[in-house]
Amino acid sequence: MNAPTDLRTLRTAVLDTSGRLAVAGAGTAAGWGGALEPVDAVLDTTGMRGVIAHNPGDMTVSVRAGTPLRELAAELAPHGQHVAFDAARVAGGATVGGLFATADAGPAALVHGSLRDLVIGVTLVLADGTVASSGGHVIKNVAGYDLAKLVHGSYGTLAVIAEVVLRLHPVPESTATLSVACTLPEAAELAAVVLGGPYEPAALEWAEGTLLIKVDGTERALPARVERLRAAVGGSTAEPDIWERHAALVRGADGRASIRVGVLPSRLPELLGALPRVSTTTAGLGTGVATVTVEPDAVAEAHRLVHEMGGTSALRARPAGTDAPAWGPPPSALGVLRAIKAELDPKGRFGPGRFAPWM
Amino acid sequence: MGLSYAVRREFEYTLSPQDVISDPVRCRAYECDGLTGYRVIPDLVLLPRTAEQVASAVRVCAEHGIPFVARGAGTGLSGGALPVADGVVISLARLKRVLEVDPVNRRAVVEPGVTNLEITKAAAPHGLYYAPDPSSQQVCTIGGNVAENSGGAHCLKYGFTTNHVLSVEVVLADGSVVTLGSDTGEQLGPDLRGTFLGSEGTLGITTKITVRLLRTPESVRTLLADFPSIAAAGDVVSDVVAAGIVPAAVEMMDTLAIEAAEEAVHAGYTVGVPAALVVELDGPTEECDVQFEQVKQICERHGCTRLHIAGSPEERAAIWRGRKAAFAAVGRISPDYFVQDGVVPRTRLAEVLDRIAGMGADAGLRVANVFHAGDGNLHPLVLYSAAAGETERAEKLSGEIAELCVEMGGSLSGEHGIGTDKACSMPKMFTEDDLAVMRRVRGAFDPRGLCNPGKVLPTPRLCGERPGKYKPHPLEESGVIERL
């Protein structure tokens, strides 16, 4: 186990080891993607933590990639700022680098997208020790290729993320959640009303018989907005901890496989209705992205069904001892993915197996 | 040298003879984009009508090793669509169908030659719009926006092209066709959609784009405020941000820019004031009202000398007409000008503008400023007279301003792109290793370098062996390596 503490020691660790390497953060997603093949060493990034520079006036922060996002959130909170990102595993101590490398996202993606939309700069260490950066502390920047995008969703197979610069948003003054008890098809109809009206929801999720509509705003304006929304869709105000319960459902339960699926929002209810042997469902009705827990032997069928509907699917949790496939059919750009892997990591050192059987 | 007759015939066979331009006089119309200082007449201009024809044309290029440059409306300001000698231009102007507007899923599928504004026009009957709004939106194409990752006045709140494009169909340099991204924007594996967006036509040609549409905001409130100094206007921006308000747009203009815009369009700006600020808020009516009140108070607190609130859509349009006219209007007060596009951290705006004023005075040239104050994206306009022999001095000043932005912790370009114009300045912003990794990425998409060569990344042929300004490598800063 190698435990670098910053860019310098990370680079040394990559150069001083030979053979195949796995990158490990807090371990909240260690079982995501393809099963890791045997490696010669593991790079533990959790020692690379802490803020490098927070510029409150510019609303940007750079951090070492091993920083748990919840720790960063605690540091930013006194400034009234946050990373507008709420993936379920943040509460479990997930690191900024790990969340980025696994392309995770939560309900806030409806407005703010995933971390790819919030990261404005990155510093990477390649398998040959090359250090490369792109972006910086300005939110608007089109100079050069955006190397950050390349490692978003790369599962540690292209480079090790050393440092990340994030765009920040103001923490809303006030926030409220309406909860409406309904079936998924009913929820889809209500979602259309919410999205078609002037309500500007901050999150819109159906989970286990309840539609959750979150609204962010100012203390003065929010009550009237919530009333307008209630008049349109009914329901009652939920306690804030309802989102913690939602996150727990997304994280899933031991012994079950968890899959993240994405499809045109209008087709999401149909897809979720067709998936076999589902035990829990959380569905982003505005984004078209849902997370379901299923029996491990139903995963392959789920991939197939999603693919037939033109969607995307990725295995999130793989119960120990099962060999549920991580991915469905490969994307059309598989050739480009392989070429990028060959350019950046020609010896195949990083994260072997993560994209099996594609590459 | 030029392309052979046989190759021309092959293109004519692949498309149709009338869709291949070889007459040098007609090819001249494609010799430059919005950056008119650089000109190269292409050997051939291809005008495919379908995505399949684009792919077929690229396959012919691949077979013969012919470099190609994709072109939309040619409004780019960095020479990104500059043709390559002995190469072809592939115009996407005829791929201009809006294939689908899907109000339920709030997205549209369009061909690359559709203009930015046409998307919003197609979406408007459904109460939807396409958010990124570059100043050239009436003419610039979405394909060009994808290539440049275009921004606009409203990207402070709503983001850039990369945040609004869910998927792109791309013809790669070998003529194969792939889809990057998906209906939801979710991508399996590395974010190739994001890598491609903003790659300035160097990784492939877009033939179909799925964009996200947003609901038209319930309320829009716009004000125009005059200030006794740039610094005071800058303080307003800082205080608005500190109050937790994310305006839809915050634009600033200085005396010269105001004067030029007023002369051109008489939009009601106050001639002679040192700084004018346009602030726009949008969203649910209740929120807009609360925050607009706060913004007004902040303006007054910083010595605002005039506060004009748009009372009608027409008045709002007038304010924007003045802002958007500023660029072209500068032509009224100066025979020639260069536009820069550097970005600085917002908190350093006043300092940078001071430095630019000093540099202008030293060079004996006027600099007008009109910029996106919310995100620190400057557009200094260096005014000069070519007839008076000031070109070289102006070009030098313009380049120095871009590099000053990098020095201040910013970027060479916020939205115009690197293209041909700033490729040789890239070493001021990036280390040799950064650029080498970008070249490796390029190599993965286009190993033979046929796709828009000579753009974005500096080459010795293009830039000479001009060593970049010293910038400490991250490893130097942390003590791993030393520069002797």
pLDDT tens digits along B340-371: 999 999 999 989 999 999 999 999 999 999 99
Q: Has residue B467 got a pLDDT over 50? A: no
Q: Give the whole-angstrom CA distance, residue B202 versus residue B180.
A: 15
Q: Considering only residues 118 to 137 of chain B, which have any Cβ-Cβ distance to chain A shorter than 8 Å?
A: 127
Q: Which CATH class is domain A7-170?
A: alpha beta
Q: Directed axis angle between helix B313-333 and helix B255-265, to 10°?
A: 110
Residue B15 structural domain: 5-91
Nearest CA in chain A to B219: A198
Chain B contact present for A51, CB below 8 A:
no
Closest-CA residue of A relative to B149 is: A142
Q: H helices within B81-226, ranges in order?
A: 116-123, 142-148, 155-158, 192-196
Chain A residues 141-160 within an 8 A CB cutoff of chain B: 141-155, 158
The reply to whether A174-246 and A252-317 are identical in fold is yes
How large is the average pLDDT for residues B122-150?
96
Query: Does position B381 have pLDDT exceeding 60, yes or no?
Result: yes
Round to whole Å and give the CA distance between B141 and B119: 10
Residues of B in contact with A118 (CB under 8 A): none
Residue B1: predicted pLDDT: 54
pLDDT in tens, B424-452: 999 999 999 999 999 999 999 999 999 99
Provide the CATH topology of domain A174-246. Alpha-Beta Plaits (3.30.70)
Q: What pLDDT is stored for residue B468 in this prediction?
A: 44
Q: Beta partners for B381?
A: B339, B368
Domain membership flag for residue B347: yes
* % pLDDT > 90, chain B: 88
Residue at which a domain ends, from B35, B62, B91: B91
Average pLDDT over residues B166-179: 98
CATH of residue B299's domain is: 3.40.462.40
Number of Cβ within 10 Å of residue B4's Cβ equals: 11
Q: Which of residues 82-121 of B touch A (CB under 8 A)?
A: 102, 104-106
Q: Is residue B479 part of a domain?
A: no
- Evaluate if residue B484 carries a pLDDT over 60: no
- Which segments of chain A have a pLDDT < 50? none
Whether residue B477 is predicted with pLDDT greater than 60 in this model: the reply is no
Report residue B328's pLDDT band, with 50, 70 and 90 as the boundaries: confident
Q: Domains in chain B: how many in total?
A: 3
B260 and B352 assigned to the same domain? yes
Candidates B107, B133, B176, B186, partner chain A, best to mutate (most A CBs within 10 A)? B186
Pick the residue from chain B with its C-alpha nearest to A122: B434
Q: One-letter amino acid identity for A166?
A: L
Task: Assess A173–B contact: CB distance below 8 Å, yes or no.
Answer: yes
Q: Which helix (H) or strand (E) holds A298?
A: none
Establish if B241 touches chain A: CB-CB under 8 angstroms: yes
Per-residue pLDDT at B482: 45
Every domain of chain A and the residues it spans: 7-170, 174-246, 252-317
Same structural domain, B225 and B361: yes
- List the single residue in A312, A314, A340 with the smallest CB-CB distance to B441: A340
Same-domain status, B273 and B386: yes
Mean pLDDT of the region B265-271: 94
Of A198, A220, A340, the CB nearest to B218: A198
pLDDT of residue A255: 80
Phi and psi of B47, rounded to 5°?
-120, 70
Instruction: Indicate the pairing of strand B88-91 with strand B68-71.
Output: parallel
Is residue A268 within 8 A of residue A285, CB to CB? The reply is yes
Which residues partner with B110 through β-bridges?
A: B98, B209
Instruction: Give the residue from B407, B440, B466 where a domain finishes.
Output: B407
Q: What is the pLDDT of residue B469?
A: 43
Cα–Cα distances in Å, from B434 out to A144, B410, B459, B467?
9, 16, 14, 15
Q: What is the DSSP letter of A349?
A: -
The predicted structure's pLDDT at residue B470: 44
Measured between CA atoms, the residue of chain A closest to residue B172 is: A336
Q: What is the per-residue pLDDT for A159? A: 98
The reply to whether ipTM tops 0.85 is yes
A-chain residues within 8 Å CB-CB of B376? Answer: 58, 138-140
- Residue B185 and residue A14: Cα distance in Å, rounded? 33
Measured distance CA(B163)–CA(B143) in Å, rounded = 15
Q: Are residues B199 and B85 in the same domain?
A: no
Please judge whether A152 and B191 are an interchain contact, meaning their C-beta atoms are less than 8 angstroms apart. Answer: yes
User: For chain B, how many residues are written?
Assistant: 484
What pLDDT is recorded for position B2? Answer: 79
In a domain, B461, yes or no: no
B 186-225 near A (Cβ less than 8 A): 186-195, 197-199, 215, 217-218
